[in-house]
With several copies, the nearest count.
Chain A
């Protein structure tokens, strides 16, 4: 399984804070987003592919279409605004 986490405005827009999807056939973030779109609707694709959306794999921000696989934790969130 791949664990997907959503934070902040993305969590609110998609009305979900975490989902798990089977890892089968998912080798990159783009595959995961397509799968989420098929499972939960077009809004997921729009939000997760949004210009400002950041992605972290296993709690490290990744900048490209990163490899992922079974057991990974993939988080989507907007730019951070702490401090």
Chain B
């Protein structure tokens, strides 16, 4: 299983990233991707910007750990995670999770697993900029519930 974890300010290209996963193996049958988008209504209205901070070094290894845990649990051939940091605007892409596998069922499960754990375990922090100033977000209860589902086995 090939894992690629990137944290960057620049945008990413979903076409390039999915083809890169496709080319990992000639056994590739399907690629499932999740693309997170900055919404303009996170916890309150009038979000004008989103600032993202991470813990250099730790965040990357947390993402790799999550990806390898997914690779142990399901039959996957390649996982790419790209998370943007810095200043973003509504409708910007913020996170890409791509999982390629021989059979699509594994790719769907592994992709959702990775994004669910990434949301609750990886060291990123979001600050919304609104017309009334900035505010650090708190973790959503629904994200904890999403991650906890994977423990019920």
Binding site for B on A (CB under 8 A): 5, 7-9, 12, 56, 59-60, 75, 77-83
**Complex interface: chain B residues within 8 A of A12 (CB):** 136
Residues in B with CB closer than 8 Å to A79 are 138-139
Contact B143 A83 (CB under 8 A): yes
| B125 touching A81, Cβ below 8 Å | yes
A82 touches B136 (CB 8 A): no
Chain B: interface secondary structure? Answer: mixed
User: Which positions 42-75 of chain B face chain A at CB distance < 8 Å?
Assistant: 52-55, 57-59, 61
Q: Which residue of A has the minimal Cβ distance to B36?
A: A83
Complex interface: chain A residues within 8 A of B115 (CB)? 83
Question: Which single residue of chain B is at the shortest CB-CB distance from A52?
Answer: B138
Q: How far is the CA of A8 from the CA of B58 in the complex (A)?
A: 15
User: Hey, which chain B residues are within 8 Å of A5, CB to CB?
Assistant: 55
Cβ contacts under 8 Å, A75 to chain B: 55, 58
CA distance A83 to B94 in the complex (A): 7
